[in-house]
Structure 1
Amino acid sequence: MALRRDVMDAPFATPPDPVHQGKPAPQRKAALAMIAYVTLGADDLHAAERFYTALLLPLGYRMERYQGDLSFLPPHDPDAPHGVPDLYIKRPFNGAVASCGNGTMIALDVPTRADVRRLHHAACAAGGSDEGQPGTRADYNADFYVAYLRDPQGNKIALFSNAPD
């Protein structure tokens, strides 16, 4: 995905405030804030480990355990314009049962359509459930090839590629 330099470099005005006595604040460039990590709750970390290692290790992630929880760290690419977020799978901090967000989904951009098919199959075989077989969708452009699944806890995952077959 290309970063929109025209948007990132465009100055934006802040509203007048008492410090500037009714005058607009000086122009400044928008800061680019990147998502650093995503955390998903899981009650069964063994099932989550089986699922996410089948899904993420083939994409170059590595898994680490930290205080009994799972950390999936993406491969480091020093030439990438921004980092890829880490994924943490943890028991909920408050001790309650983990739950999924309605309308929440994590999407993984994978290199090829064959990878979408292969990873969808591997993740389902590792305890995930199918939410939409690999293919194009009428609601999206013809290059958007996607599959949907749920992890053992019920979190929704999309695997997609914009590469032609």
Structure 2
Amino acid sequence: MFTYVCLGTNNLQRAVAFYDPVMAALGHQRCDTTSEPDWDGWVGWGTYIDEGRIEVALWLCAPFNNQPAGVGNGTMVAFAARSWAQVQAFHQAALAHGGTSEGEPGLRVHYGPDFYAAYVRDPDGHKLAAVCRGILSPTI
């Protein structure tokens, strides 16, 4: 469905310091753009190939119109987690690196009996979630 998701930031260095550990908690590494001459000011995580297509990555950059980056009311990016532990690690990493909590890790049974999620805001105010489905209790 998506080729990529791009979020605007007012401070790329601060955003990278937040997203590196948060995305690593979900198993995503930074995209390699070293062979891309026009990608200065862009940082991404997740899958990325481009000309061979398979994209689906989260990208951060300053807005193209040179105006301050803002957040959309009602906008949220939700990432898939493979376990409750990944959801918890996502939440902990976000809080440890300048994010704020918008919802502690836990079951949200109003979305389904297996909907385990945590919600945060990044340092620019973007709302993010990590969601694990298909598990009814934590595995030990």
Provide the residue aligned with 1:62 in structure 2: 30
SS of the residue corresponding to residue 40 of structure 1 reads strand
105, 123, 129: which one pairs with 1:152? 123
- Report the CA distance between 1:61 and its aligned residue: 2.6
- Report the CA distance between 1:145 and its aligned residue: 0.2
Aligned partners of 1:60, 1:99: CA distance in 2, in Å? 25
- Report the CA distance between 1:104 and its aligned residue: 0.6
- Report the CA distance between 1:73 and its aligned residue: 3.1
TM (normalized to structure 2)? Answer: 0.82
68, 83, 86: which one pairs with 2:57? 86
Q: 5+ unaligned residues in a row in structure 2: which ranges? A: 34-38
Q: Which one-letter code corresponds to 2:119 in the other structure? A: Y
Q: RMSD over aligned Cα, in angstroms?
A: 1.8
Matches within 5 A, 1:1-165: 34-58=1-25, 59-64=27-32, 66-74=39-47, 85-164=56-135, 165=138
TM (normalized to structure 1)? Answer: 0.70
Q: 5+ unaligned residues in a row in structure 1: which ranges? A: 1-33, 77-82
- Report the CA distance between 1:46 and its aligned residue: 1.2
Which of structures 1 and 2 has the larger relative contact order (alpha carbons within 8 angstroms, sep 6+)?
Answer: 2
Tell me how many residue pairs correspond in the alignment.
Answer: 126
Q: Which one-letter code corresponds to 1:56 in the other structure? A: M
Aligned partners of 1:137, 1:36: CA distance in 2, in Å? 28
Query: Which string of whole-angstrom CA distances, capped at 9 and with x for unpartnered residues, describes residues 31-75 of structure 1?
Result: xxx210011000011111011101113413324462122122328
Q: Which moved more, 1:113-122 or 1:62-71?
A: 62-71
Query: Which string of whole-angstrom CA distances, capped at 9 and with x for unpartnered residues, describes residues 117-149 of structure 1?
Result: 111101111111100000012422121100000
SS of the residue corresponding to residue 79 of structure 2 reads strand
Q: Confirm or deny: 8 A CA contact 2:105 2:119 kept in the other structure.
A: yes
Highest Rg: 1 or 2? Answer: 1
Which stretches of structure 1, 4 residues or more, deviate above 6 A after TM superposition? none
- Report the CA distance between 1:162 and its aligned residue: 1.1
